[in-house]
Structure formats: C-alpha cells, structure tokens
Structure 1
Amino acid sequence: MNVPSSPTAVRNATLRRAAVAVGVGVLGAVYLWHTDPHEPGQLLLPCPFRWATGLLCPACGGTRMAYDLMHGDLVTAFHDNAVLLVLGVPAAAYMTGRWLYAGLRGRRFRARLGARGNAVVLGIAAVWMLVRNLTG
C-alpha cells in the first residue's frame, strides 16, 4: 500500500478515504433503512459464526442494532446487542475521530492495541458471547 509522506499528501489521502467511507456508509444505511432485519426473508448477510455453530457471536445483533438506532429506538437497539452499543460504538467513534483529526492535520495515525488491550477486548468479547448464549 502506498503510504503518503508529506502532510499535504496525508491530508488528501485522509479526505479521499473518508469520502469513500462516508459514501459506502450512506449507501448501506439507505439500504438498511428500508430493510427491516427483524423480519425474516430480508436480503442481508448472515453471521457465518452463527450459521456454522448455531451460537451468537459477540457482534450478532449489530445489523438490527444499527437499524433500530437509525429509527430512533434506543431500547430495542440496546436489547439487540448491549455491549456493542455501549462499548463498540463509542470506541469506533473515538478511533475514527482520532484518525480524522490526525489525518486532517497532516499526520498519520495507526490504531494499536498492546497485549493488555487485546486481552481486554478478547476477554469482553468472550464473556459477552458466553452470557448471550447461556441466558438466551
């Protein structure tokens, strides 16, 4: 991958990547707005982990959560995937904000988790998966 070196090149690359991400996100949101994932028979990608094992993965319910958030139903979104809503959405927003802030200032930003951070994320995901599958 070509890594820009000058601050102007980093800024321009950040703007291009952000524009593509926003465009793809808007297209996905428009499709999801009109496609209720709570109803069976919708054309949505199934979770491969659930398909293979029959168990809920830590991210299962994320599509339904996004649909519910777009329609202003915070309670149902929380029910769809509480940990993803409470921890995942703010973490993604923070990392995206850090990337944009650094990129628009002409600096590269690489998100990195150390061993402890990876252990925390994987631990939360494992506990959440167990809780979801044992409690129903």
Structure 2
Amino acid sequence: PADDVALLVARVRALPEGATAAWRFTADPTVVARARQLATDRLTGWGLEELTFTTELIVSELVTNAVRYAGSPVELRLIRDKTLICEVSDPSQTQPHLRRARLTDEGGRGLFLVAQLAHRWGSRYTASGKTIWTEQPLPDAL
C-alpha cells in the first residue's frame, strides 16, 4: 500500500502508592554511600532484604559511573513492580558500553559486574541525558 500506517498501542497501569522511591544527588563521590544506604532502607521497607546485597552493588557501580563521567544531577529511582527496577539517570548523552578489563586494569569492571548481577539491563536516552536501568526478579515468596 502507498500509505502505510503503523499503530502502536500501549497498555499501562498505575503503580500502587509507595511502589517507587527517587532521589537526586550532586556529582560528588561522597553521595555513593548515601545512595546505597537509601536504597537499602527502601528495600527493607518493602520487605525485600533478600535483594539488598545485589542492589547495593548495582547502585554503587551505576551511581559511581554517573558521578565520575556525567556530572550533576544524578538521579536514582527504585521501582517495585513485577520485578525490582533500579534506574540511574545523568545528564550525559554518552551511552555506556561493556568492556572487558585486563587483569592489570584498576577499573573498567563496573558495568560488566552490573550486567552479571542483573536479570536484564539497558539504557535509554532522555530529554536531559540518559538512564541506565536494571531489573531483578522479586524473591519467590512475594
């Protein structure tokens, strides 16, 4: 046909009250520990202590990268839905890429570690920069 038309239908639903938590930080290395603590406190409030260790590592790596390479503001958001979603947003338009650090490299393992810990991960451009997101399955008991 000469007039191809595409239709996209999306179904969305509202998240329950209290299913999200968000924080904004300046690009200062000292905020990484604060971000980890806030995430841990929120997971405890949601009864998701089982995900604390992995989420702390993910938050630490993603917030550290944002602080180091992107500048202010750095935003952290946790979403408790069918999975636990962790998002870190920053003002940089540069998309992350996995690299394999050599044995002698002092850094370069953060995103690789995140990719190994998360069930799924990815990134998207936003109007003000980019967001890197991860998903972790919720514990079976929930």
Fold shared, TM-score > 0.5 on shorter chain: no
Larger Rg: 1
Q: 1 or 2, which has the higher helix percentage? A: 1
- Structure with more contact order per residue of length (Cα contacts < 8 Å, sep ≥ 6): 1
Q: 1 or 2, which has the higher strand percentage? A: 2
